[in-house]
Amino acid sequence: MKFASVRIVTRDLDGLIEFYQRLSGIEAARPADGFAELRFEGATLAISSERLIELFNVGAATAAANRSAILEFEVEDVDAVFERMNASGTNIVMATTLMPWGNRSLLLRDPDGNLVNVFSRPRR
């Protein structure tokens, strides 16, 4: 089995795509109307309009209703990500902090309220 992707369902497709493009520096592919993918090394972040859920899977997902999952991204320089995202007005939940296990971690909320952890591992 291969873990392929995580999909976020949203009412603001363009806003969420723009957030994750700014965060990652990766251009989203848009293989279908109402759907986009940001293809990272090892996995894909898919973003779907709530309209697609209503058309094909009515009731299966509700946009902007998550309060249990955390999307996590490992980066080389978490402080640079903090500066870029803070300058754009992103909701910063926790500024860059050294965690007890050695990671430097930054917590953000995307435009739909999903929690995003951006972290750098300790240099060895």
Are 93 and 112 members of one domain? Answer: yes
Are 28 and 13 members of one domain? Answer: yes
**pLDDT tens profile 98-107:** 999 999 999 9
C-beta neighbour count of 90 within 10 angstroms: 20
Number of domain units in the chain: 2
Are 53 and 71 members of one domain? Answer: no
What pLDDT score was predicted for residue 33? Answer: 95
Are 79 and 47 members of one domain? Answer: no
With 0.85 as the threshold, say if the pTM is over it. yes
Are 36 and 76 members of one domain? Answer: no
Are 70 and 49 members of one domain? Answer: no
**pLDDT tens profile 14-44:** 999 999 999 999 999 999 999 999 999 989 9
